[in-house]
A and B are shown apart, each in its own frame.
Chain A
Amino acid sequence: MSARQPLPNWVTIVLMPVLNVLLAFVIGGLAVAIIGENPLDAMWALFYGAFGTGMGWGFTLHYATNFIFTGLAVAIAFKAGMFNIGGEGQAYVAGLGAIMVALWLDQTHWTLVLLGSTLAAMMMGSLWAIIPAWLQAKRGSHIVITTIMFNFIASAFMSYMLAQVITAPGANAETRTINEQGRLPLMSDWFDAFQYSPLNITFFFGIAALIFTYVLIWRTKLGYKIRTLGANKEAARYAGISAVSVIIIAMAISGALAGLMAVNEAVGVQKRLVVGYVHGFGFVGIAVAFMGRSHPVGIALAALLFGALYQGGQELAFELPAVPSDLVVVIQALVILFTGAMGDMFRPLLERIFARRVKPSPEAPTTADTEA
């Protein structure tokens, strides 16, 4: 690249993502205008639905918890240079482990259910991630394609399990419901503000997972190895880091995190396992990780944004029936597109603006010209 005026940090970290997200909402608003409804009403309904009430907050944070797990899963793998788009399948298969342990222990106490299903979910999730990781590390098969394939294999496997093996008597492709004693406590049991919302104790796991990831990646030896491998494979090799073991460990952690979504969603809220319970949340994790720049703080904020979108979308369907709630999927897709795939869209423009404003140096005009 030619010599450029580097943008101030806050511009690349804060302003650019914010502009990208705003653009996504503007285009979403245009879509609302196309079908002849008022975009501002729709956006207000989205916002109020997500943040206007305690219940809205509860739902928003509940969805955000799912996205924290799937987002961190993508981020940790990404730090190791692996693109794990198998969060969807990993969370699905983890649901099997989580629900089976939960149904087994649900006559005892919820603490046992929480502990048991968490371990089972993490184990199953990482199992589903280790196979593609091993295939990548040892056999060189591209992890993106393998994890896509594993999503579909997971979906077929799970519909077999749910339809034939662990089906509740009389039900169609779902397990029985967790017993009263075994259910995870809801936040609304302790805080009245969250009444009628599904926010449960797993939320704290989400917070813990954020802190865990930060410590792991930036404060431990393993994290250093992961970052080195992700930054430069050759350098990692010369430093004596085993790519095979780091890939497998990073993907195992990634799968385990994706698996935690099962505890929140299947055990905590739905209290049983149904077909397709992951509902695309694994894919949203990709967006969350990229928007959050694979950093726990960014991921927390991105997860909150997507959680709000999901919850707002539900409310939108009640408030303005003429605006289909699929608007949320459109906005979400645009956010993924603009922040993930076109993240540098505004860079040339911003560089031009800041080159003029911040410090007019002799280089500034040439940088503007090369990019034009």
Chain B
Amino acid sequence: MGATDIILLLDSSVRFAVPLMLAALAGLYSERSGIVDIGLEGKMLGGAFAAAATAAVTGSVWLGLAAAMGVSVVMSMIHALASINFRGNQIISGVALNFLAAGFTVFLGHAWFRRGGTTPNLRPDERFANIELPFAQEFGQVPIIGEIYEQLLSGHSIIVYFAFLMVPVTAFVLFRTRFGLRLRAVGENPKALDTAGISVAMLRYRALVVTGLLCGVAGAFLSTAQGANFSENMTSGRGFIALAALIFAKWRPWQAMWTCLLFGVLSASQIRLQGVEFPMIGEVPVQFIQALPYILTVVLLAGFIGRANPPKAIGQPYVKER
């Protein structure tokens, strides 16, 4: 495997990693505020359908993105209503939202487009185009550095750059702003915030709006940037891998990015590792590599490599004493 192969592998890893990153960052806002979100998968799926359907009908990919974010935020607000106002079980609410998205997307897709649950194929101008960075062609002739620039850095859709931008932004918001401080505090000790006169419910609602927005972008990426239509269950577990990545990163933004990239490399190398004989081990089944992110997360959670301590107040509805 030469340098060019490695660069191409990393390039496809980035494409695998981007929806994971967006969803993991989305989950970060929710979980840091003390609300478990196993509904990332559903919100992404709902967003992916909204983006593809809107782009197909209106011809505008930006309207598609807006629709994706809108649908995903609405779903996130249902989760907020259940978790904050009704003090319901957050895990059940997440399970329900995943089912809701799985059902509604296919139901509406069948009824509106009559193509067996998929949306019509989008024309190139109805999708997010890949952006050529300046001089990518010319610079690409230079070995290694030029190839990295042309293949790895250039030629991605705007959502990819947005996803990478959101990592420092999230880190800044979380650790350098008042909102971030309160967000972290409300996930650890909501009572302290309440005592300080800050509304726990309002803060959690705001966090869940951000979660919804980011999941929507992740969904739009799947159906209008990476793909060219929506198909049944197209997220295929990515929301859960993102959740695993978030836990693996111990609920921190930069670590979440690296974990998602690692999981991206695992996905991208699946095809290449098929049939490859490793010394001592022999052939590794593809399914093992598919399961690796989950296995790693279990091992981490069990404290065999480091410890993952979730925000203390996670999953518990806040009851204000009267």
Interfacial residues, chain A to chain B (CB-CB below 8 A):
1-2, 31, 34-36, 83, 85, 135, 139-142, 144-146, 148-150, 152-153, 156-157, 159-160, 163-164, 280, 283, 286-287, 290, 322-324, 326-334, 336-337, 340-345, 370
Contact = CB atoms under 8 A, between A and B. Distances in A.
B123 interface: no
Interface in B51-65: none
Given A31-B107, A150-B298, A326-B103, A341 B88 contact: yes
Given A152-B237, A336-B99, A337-B97, A160 B90 contact: no
Contacts of B106: 324, 326, 329
Nearest to A339: B92
Given A153-B291, A340-B96, A135 B103 contact: no
Contacts of B181: none
B135 interface: no
A333 B42 CA distance: 11
B322 A332 contact: no
Given A341-B88, A341-B90, A341-B92, 14 more contacts: A1-B319, A141-B301, A146-B302, A160-B285, A160-B288, A326-B117, A327-B103, A327-B107, A328-B103, A333-B104, A334-B96, A341-B82, A342-B82, A343-B86
Nearest to B315: A144
Given A85-B91, A344-B87, A345-B86, A337 B96 contact: yes
Contacts of A164: 285
Interface stretch (B108-116, B199-207, B219-227): B108-116
Contact of B100 (A145, A146, A324, A330): A330
Given A157-B287, A329-B99, A330-B103, A340 B86 contact: no
Given A283-B95, A336-B96, A31 B294 contact: no
7 contacts: A135-B301, A141-B303, A142-B310, A144-B36, A156-B291, A283-B99, A327-B103
Nearest to A83: B91
Nearest to B103: A329
B298 A149 contact: yes
Interface in B39-87: 78, 81-83, 86-87
A333 B81 CA distance: 16
A323 B298 CA distance: 41
B92 A35 contact: no
B92 A286 contact: yes
Contact of A139 (B89, B90, B297, B302): B302
Contacts of B298: 135, 141, 146, 149-150, 153
A148 B303 CA distance: 17
Nearest to B89: A341
Contacts of B103: 326-333
Interface in B182-239: 237
B107 to A, nearest CB: 4
A145 B95 contact: no
A329 B98 CA distance: 10
B295 A336 contact: no
Greatest chain A CB density within 10 A among B106, B107, B304 is at: B107
A341 B104 CA distance: 19
B247 interface: yes
A2 B303 CA distance: 42
A368 to B, nearest CB: 15
B202 to A, nearest CB: 19
Nearest to B109: A324
B288 A144 contact: no
B57 to A, nearest CB: 15
Greatest chain A CB density within 10 A among B38, B83, B96, B319 is at: B96
